[in-house]
Amino acid sequence: MNNTSDSTRRQFVQTSAAAAVGAGLTSSALNQASAVPLTGRIKVGLIGCGGRGTGATVQTMKADSRVELWALADIFPEQIEKTQSVVKVDFEKAPERIRLNDSRKFVGLEAYQQILQSGIDLVLIATPGGFRPYHLKAAVAAGKHIFCEKPMAVDPHGIRLVIEAVAEAKRKNLAIRAGFNMRFQPAYREAIRRIREGEIGEVRAVYASRMSSRLARFDGIRKPDQGDLEYQLRNWHYFNWLSGDLILEISVHSIDKMAWIMGDAAPTRVIASGARHQQSIGDIWDQFDVTYEYENGLVAILKTRYLNGCSNEHRDLVVGTKGTCELGWGSATIRGENSWRYKGPKVSSHQIEHDELYADLRQGIIPNDGDRMVNSTLMGIAGRMSAYTGKAVTWDQALRSKLKTMPDNLDWQMKLPVSSIPEPGKTKLI
């Protein structure tokens, strides 16, 4: 770090701040286009009727009174009925906004293609991460505005598909709202604004932690007559090709906050470690420690762990020359020369990300979060690649890697053995 000039450091932490500081906006404000404002009804469809997809549907309908639920798609029919039931309860006083009928409930591996031809204006993509590059690309090709949950990919092949889709969306003037909701949290926005204005001095390092008890969303029990594909899809959380491991499925939110603090500059080198201790299903791990190194010598460190019987921690610490800034669960505090604590309301960042999307579209503003969502997702992929192999990974290696985890030609009868557990020092860096 001694070879990095003060001016270079200062320029680095202010990379994307200039346009965002005044209004406290996220970096998506730096990548917007203009178009004719959307008026009248907006018909939305959901691909992926799990808990997050259902939540996103309710939030997107609350964001704008003229948004209507037009279509649903999922691999499994019972998931569609669960989503519809939740939405009906939330909008029992406005049932006219639920415009579903049986012809617009699409089931199966090809359901995502069918819903894109159903007359929707905007699609919510909330499938497991392994599918999202393909669904995102198809949605852009179909000319739809998009809300896409994180992570946007789980391997380098997928992230390159996302990059192509983002570029095409810009050409077509299509909105892409990323599901990195932490950037819409008022406490975090105010804290980042203060960091940009120098209230903790020059940023020296970032430390992020996401440690909690073991996550077990699914029981992992194989039911009678379940083929390999159905078993893994119903327990997708435990399989790397679907979830990207816990570093991408969960901890990528912490990575995204680090990227935001660092001005969305790409790290030059990533080195990581990790382990599998309590996991007994699938091929994922339950611990990662990742160091992201930047061109100017700064580092960002992620510690993430999901183990029972251990101390828990969830925070982000930004270390500066005049103090520190700590982000907690919906809170923010600065200690040092310019002490400060966020005292504003704690509101749902999940809701705000939808509120602002529709407010923009109604004004003819087309937000595109694509570049930053690619950066944060690839940071997670690179961290996992390094941990799995035990090798340092450069940004260029991660971006150009030939690693592709999504199986070709998915079929209910296909043989789909569980991948072997990665062994650092033995697993090859592809």
Do 136 and 269 share a structural domain?
no
For residue 363, being part of any structural domain is answered with no
For residue 85, being part of any structural domain is answered with yes
> Quick check: 124 and 57 in contact, CB under 8 A?
yes
208-229 mean pLDDT? 93
The rounded mean pLDDT for the chain is 93
For residue 321, being part of any structural domain is answered with yes
User: Which pLDDT tens digit goes with each residue over 361-379?
Assistant: 999 999 999 999 999 999 9
Find the CATH number of the domain harbouring 256: 3.30.360.10
- pLDDT reported for residue 299: 98
- The domain in which residue 134 lies consists of 26-180
Do 287 and 200 share a structural domain?
yes
pLDDT at 177 over 60: yes
Do 237 and 280 share a structural domain?
yes
Do 200 and 83 share a structural domain?
no
Do 340 and 196 share a structural domain?
yes
Find the CATH number of the domain harbouring 88: 3.40.50.720
- pLDDT reported for residue 29: 55
Do 167 and 255 share a structural domain?
no
Task: Report H helices in 72-151.
Answer: 77-90, 111-115, 132-141
User: Which pLDDT tens digit goes with each residue over 131-167?
Assistant: 999 999 999 999 999 999 999 999 999 999 999 999 9
For residue 394, being part of any structural domain is answered with yes
User: Which pLDDT tens digit goes with each residue over 19-39?
Assistant: 333 333 444 556 788 888 899
Q: What is the pTM of this model?
A: 0.92
pLDDT band with cut points at 50, 70 and 90 for residue 14: very low
pLDDT at 111 over 90: yes
Question: What is the count of structural domains for the chain?
Answer: 2
Instruction: Spell 77-88 as b/e; 16+ CB within 10 A means b.
Output: eebbebbbebbe
User: Which pLDDT tens digit goes with each residue over 43-90?
Assistant: 999 999 999 999 999 999 999 999 999 999 999 999 999 999 999 999
Do 190 and 175 share a structural domain?
no
Do 227 and 375 share a structural domain?
yes
Do 164 and 126 share a structural domain?
yes
Do 213 and 160 share a structural domain?
no
Q: What is the DSSP string of 286-304?
A: SEEEEEEE-TTS-EEEEEE
**What distance in Å separates the CA atoms of residue 180 and residue 259, rounded to the nearest whole number?**
11
Weakest mean pLDDT among 155-159, 173-177, 211-215: 211-215
- pLDDT reported for residue 10: 39
Do 193 and 114 share a structural domain?
no
pLDDT at 12 over 80: no
